[in-house]
Amino acid sequence: MFNLFPILQNIENNKDLYIGQAYSHLSSSLNIPIEYFSPQNKIHNRKNDETSTKIAFYFPINADELHLTYPRLEIYWQTALDFSVSEGLYRSNDGGRWVPAVQAFYNNAIITDIKVRQ
């Protein structure tokens, strides 16, 4: 696989093009297929809020391959998403495989920030 970091860094450097826009705007400009996602809940007293989502371009076959999902993007949402829905999608799709139903769930979510995670 080629080095994704420069491509992802370019997205982060130009995140102003995507902030305030629906996720579908970002996904339509990606030239790399998304393979994996991981919903994040970072507000401890609000367990049903997905505040961000990690997306990666490699699907790990097992836990030993999780390091291969880096670098990846973390997308922060303007309004928290329903964590129970995204967690259900995560579990029902091989533990995070990006499929059309996942894309549909995120399409209308509004981006508030984008960061590259190495």
Q: How far apart are CA 63 and CA 45, in angstroms?
A: 28
Looking at the structure of the chain, the number of domains it has is 1
The dihedral region occupied by 83, where left means phi > 0, alpha psi between -120 and 50, and beta the remainder, is: alpha
Q: How far apart are CA 61 and CA 1, in angstroms?
A: 16
**This prediction's pTM:** 0.94
| Helix or strand (DSSP H, E) at 9 | helix 5-13
Q: Which domain holds residue 103?
A: 5-117
* pLDDT by 10s per residue, the chain, length 118: 568 999 999 999 999 999 999 999 999 999 899 999 999 997 777 779 999 999 999 999 998 999 999 999 999 999 999 999 999 999 999 999 999 999 999 999 999 999 999 9
